[in-house]
Every structure is written in structure tokens, then in C-alpha cells.
Amino acid sequence: MKAHDGMYIGGAWRPAAGQDVIEVVNPVDEQVIGTVPAGTAADVDNAVRAARAALPEWAATPPAERAARLAALRDVLTARADEIAETVTAELGSPLKFSQAVHAGVPIAVAGSYAELAATYAFEEKTGNSVVHEEPVGVVAAITPWNYPLHQIVAKVAPALAAGCTVVVKPAEDTPLVARLFAGAVHEAGLPAGVFNLVTGLGPVAGQALAEHPGVDLVSFTGSTAVGRQIAAIAAGQIKKVALELGGKSANVILPSADLAKAVNVGVANVMSNSGQTCSAWTRMLVHRDQYDEAVELAAAAAAKYGDRIGPVVSAKQQDRVRGYIEKGVAEGARLVAGGPEAPREQGYFVSPTVFADVTEDMTIAQEEIFGPVLSILRYEDEEDALRIANGTVYGLAGAVWAGDEAEAVAFARRMETGQVDINGGRFNPLAPFGGYKQSGVGRELGVHGLAEYLQTKSLQF
Ligand code: NAD
């Protein structure tokens, strides 16, 4: 059997229960590049049973041994980095260099971080006359999106395995090929059968069956707010644990003392990266009224340079959605200074790098997650006004603050209702907790906080 014919369940590729398949399309040329089985509730049930069967032994495996398996997994991923990058480029459309640096590089770093954490984390501590043991939550369902397809799998699977949990992954239907590659890497790394399982399929079929399965103890979901809400409702009905990483509308706050050109250029790059398909992207740029016109000019010039350098968005559906938002921005009175709703190429799901000026807080493009290469620039009167605008959405995932003085930026960042803030262009840190305030989600991923999501505590009194 070819790998693409089956599901990875219980340590082997097994035939899918049904006949239906999902076609995977290259968003650059719209050609079908492969198919994967469309899993059903029966496949999900098999996978969850395999994960449950493997749980007692994996949970009892010493953390040092779990760490060794994760280190082996990191090494296999490193050896296959080129294949990972090429696969993500083929199914997501991102430029190869970006795929190498980010879509392959970041998950390798994250897998490595959990190999180290599993080896060094104190799974046991004393408090008074008690010993507190941190034990695995159990069987984890990981439902992941397509925008950082391998990273989002590894950011759930690596901490779950480090904690001693077993996992069933249901990857996004647009990007299942890198998920299959990952299953092969898990196999090669020698993880025991059933510790990791993969079921490809449609969200409302395989995804929903997985979230609903009574054999699942925790659902970790990344994706849209609408689906996150449904999953939280399912989990509530069963008092199941749930972690949600949802959308964002993050603010890039440029205080008057900042290096304006740098802040604007880095801000535009942040939004255009991955064709704007980043939940933590700084899609609202907030500029003081005295510097507003200059910032708009700089941003328009910066965006124009991205013309041919960004890839397409993932699908025709996303292209329609993003172009719809651009049209809405125009209709609501925002001023286009770069890009626009017209597709820049006839073939492929491309969207022009787009910048809107004169965006006001009440506009749809200032409130809703667009998930495309679209930046909204808003004007503020003073610092209090900037803070009010920055905090004025239902989201709170990320953000940025720029100021001449670092302490000034930090003081502002501390007042922002958001889970992460980059100070004067601070770099991504794979050990820093990532997750949302407000409707951006529940729980944290990455680093030690990400590990804690997959642990529950038991106190023994002496
Ligand atoms: P989605 O939420 O529909 O899909 C995410 C995952 O959930 C996929 O694996 C999908 O198969 C699964 N899913 C869908 N319906 C389900 C259900 N009823 N039960 C269980 N699982 C289900 O996201 P999408 O349609 O691919 O993208 C739509 C929008 O979501 C985007 O435009 C963007 O705004 C947002 N999004 C956010 C992120 C993020 O990182 N926060 C990632 C992807 C998409």
C-alpha cells in the first residue's frame, strides 16, 4: 500500500474505512498534486482506540526516554528539512526560502525544545507535607489549520508526547501532505505504536468526530473562531479539557519617539509574511496623527516592493474571502494606497499586497481577521487613544510596540490586552508562551507553558 492510501494508526499505515478522497491543490498553478483519504468516524474511532491502548505504557515511560524519542524525532525532521519545505511550498504556495526557514525550521526548533524540556522538567515537586505529581492528561485530539501546517502539528504533538500523552492529529484538508510526512518521521524516530496517530479528513466529518469522541481527554484546536466555539461547546458538554488558538487582529503601535521608517518597514513585512496568513500578524498599524501621512507613504512604498515576492493564499476560497474584505474596506470609505481587490495574476490564488489608509476603528477591516496580505493603518491622537484603539477588538493574540526608549515601549505593552508583544522588533522566541487574551483563545502553546497544558496534577499527602 502506498502511504497516501491510508491512515497512520497504531504504528502502521492502514486502509481508510471509506472510499472518499480529498484532492490537494497547488495554489500557485491550481493543479491537483495528490489525494489523501477523507476519514470518517470509523477511522477516528480506530485512531482513538489505538491512542488509548498506547497510553498507559507511554505515560509510564520515564521522561528521559520520552525526551530521547523526541530528540530522535527532531533529528529525523532535520534530515528531512528539504522535503518538508518542498511539501509545504507545494500545498500552501509559500516561497521555498520561507518554507525552509519557517515551515521547516520552526517545527524542528520546537521539537528540539521539547526534547530538552522533557529531560529537564520537574514532573514532581514537594509543597509542605505533599508531593505533587504532574501526570499526562491522557489522549489528546489535535485539530490543526493550514497556515503553518507543520508548526501547528508539532506545537501540539511535541509537548503532548513530552508530557506522556498520546495523540490523534486531524490536519487541515488543504495541507495534509506535510502531516503525512510528519507521521513517517514519527515512525522513523521509533515512537511506540499508537502514541501518535493521524487521520486525514474534512473538518465537519473527521474533525467533529474526533472532538466528540468520548475516548479523547483534551482537544487542542487551532483555527477559526467559529469552529473554536463549536469545539468548546462539544468539550463543555463532556467536561473535556480544551485548548483553543483562534484568530487575531493585532496592533502594531508606533509611538511618536520610535524610529518611524524601521517600525513601518518591519510592520509591513510582518503582515505580508506567509501572504498574511498568520494569526499573530500585526494587521492594524497605529500611528500618531503628526506622523500619519509619512507612515502611510512609507507603508505604500514598502508594500509595492512585495508585489512579486509573496506567494498566493492557500485556496480559491481564501482568495475570495480576502478580496471580499478588500472590497468591503473600499466600500466603507478606507483609502487604498497599495494593492486592491483585483487578482494580480490570472492563474493561482494570488492577492496583491494591500495597504489601507484612513481606516477607522468601526470599519470591518479594523475589526475582523482577514487572513491575507492586507494592512490597515489607523490614526491616534495621543497615547491613551492608541491604547484604547489597540485594545478595541474582541481579539488579543499578539502585538508590537515601538518607541525611542525601551522602557516607554514596555510600559505601553504592559497595558495591552494581548498574549504577546514584540518590543522594537523583538524576535520570535520558540520558548515563549503563545496564546490569546479575550476571544483569541484559551491556553498557551510553546515552552514550559505549552507543556503544562498537557499535564494534570495529583497531590499525595504524607
Ligand atoms: P477552520 O477553523 O475551518 O479549520 C481549522 C481546522 O478545523 C481544520 O483542520 C478543519 O478541518 C477543522 N474543522 C473545521 N470544521 C470543523 C468542525 N466542525 N469540527 C472539528 N474540526 C473542524 O479554518 P479555515 O476554514 O481553514 O479558515 C477560515 C478562517 O479561520 C481563516 O480565514 C482565518 O481567519 C482563520 N484561521 C485562523 C488560524 C489561526 O492560526 N488562528 C488558522 C487558520 C485559519
Residue whose C-alpha is closest to residue 418's, from 433, 445, 440: 440
Would you say the CB of residue 223 lies under 6 angstroms from ligand 1?
A: yes
Task: Give catalytic residues, as residue numbers.
Answer: 245
Cβ atoms of 257 and 405 within 8 Å: the answer is yes
- Domain regions of the chain by residue span: 2-246+440-461, 251-430
Spatial strand order of the sheet with 399-402 comes to 335-338, 354-359, 374-380, 284-288, 251-254, 399-402, 422-423
CA 204/CA 210 separation, integer angstroms: 10
pLDDT class of 32 with cuts at 50, 70, 90: very high
* The ligand 1 atom nearest the CA atom of 201: 11
pLDDT in tens, 40-98: 999 999 999 999 999 999 999 999 999 999 999 999 999 999 999 999 999 999 999 99
- CA distances 440 to 33, 161, 346, 369, 411, Å, are 33, 25, 35, 11, 22
* The ligand 1 atom nearest the CA atom of 318: 32
Q: Give the distance (Å) from ligand 1 centre to CA of residue 229.
A: 11
Span 420-449, average pLDDT: 97
**Mutate which of 91, 224, 440 for ligand 1 pocket (most atoms within 8 A of beta carbon):** 224
Residue with cell 471509506: 18
CA 372/CA 326 separation, integer angstroms: 10
Span 144-171, average pLDDT: 98
Residue 282, number of CB atoms within 10 A of its CB: 24
Would you say the CB of residue 435 lies under 6 angstroms from ligand 1?
A: no
Contacts for 58 with CB less than 8 Å, ≥ 6 apart? 66, 136, 161, 164, 165, 166, 192, 195
* The ligand 1 atom nearest the CA atom of 143: 9
**Mutate which of 22, 25, 227, 395 for ligand 1 pocket (most atoms within 8 A of beta carbon):** 227
pLDDT, position 309:
83
Would you say the CB of residue 67 lies under 6 angstroms from ligand 1?
A: no
Q: Give the distance (Å) from ligand 1 centre to CA of residue 356.
A: 26
pLDDT in tens, 352-379: 999 999 999 999 999 999 999 999 999 9
Nearest CA to ligand 1 atom 14: 203
Would you say the CB of residue 276 lies under 6 angstroms from ligand 1?
A: no
Cβ atoms of 39 and 61 within 8 Å: the answer is no
Backbone angles phi, psi at 445, to 5 degrees: -115, 165
Would you say the CB of residue 143 lies under 6 angstroms from ligand 1?
A: yes
112: cell is 528540539
- Say how far residue 445 (Cα) sits from the centre of its chain: 10
Contacts for 226 with CB less than 8 Å, ≥ 6 apart? none
Contacts for 237 with CB less than 8 Å, ≥ 6 apart? none
Nearest CA to ligand 1 atom 38: 223
Contacts for 204 with CB less than 8 Å, ≥ 6 apart? none
Would you say the CB of residue 310 lies under 6 angstroms from ligand 1?
A: no
* The ligand 1 atom nearest the CA atom of 210: 20
3-state helix, strand, coil in the chain (%, to 5): 45, 20, 35
Q: Is the pLDDT of residue 3 over 70?
A: no
Which CATH topology does 2-246+440-461 take? Aldehyde Dehydrogenase; Chain A, domain 1 (3.40.605)
Nearest CA to ligand 1 atom 28: 224
Number of residues written out for the chain:
462
Q: Give the distance (Å) from ligand 1 centre to CA of residue 171.
A: 10
CATH architecture, range 251-430 = 3-Layer(aba) Sandwich (3.40)
pLDDT, position 307:
75
Query: Which percentage of the chain shows pLDDT scores above 70?
Result: 99
Nearest CA to ligand 1 atom 12: 203
Q: Give the distance (Å) from ligand 1 centre to CA of residue 76.
A: 28
Beta bridge partners of 140: 167, 218
Would you say the CB of residue 272 lies under 6 angstroms from ligand 1?
A: no
Residue whose C-alpha is closest to residue 455's, from 186, 244, 192, 241: 241
Q: Give the distance (Å) from ligand 1 centre to CA of residue 263.
A: 31
Q: Is the pLDDT of residue 387 over 70?
A: yes
Residue 1, number of CB atoms within 10 A of its CB: 9
Mean of pLDDT over the chain? 97
Q: Is the pLDDT of residue 1 over 50?
A: no
Nearest CA to ligand 1 atom 43: 223
404: cell is 525611542
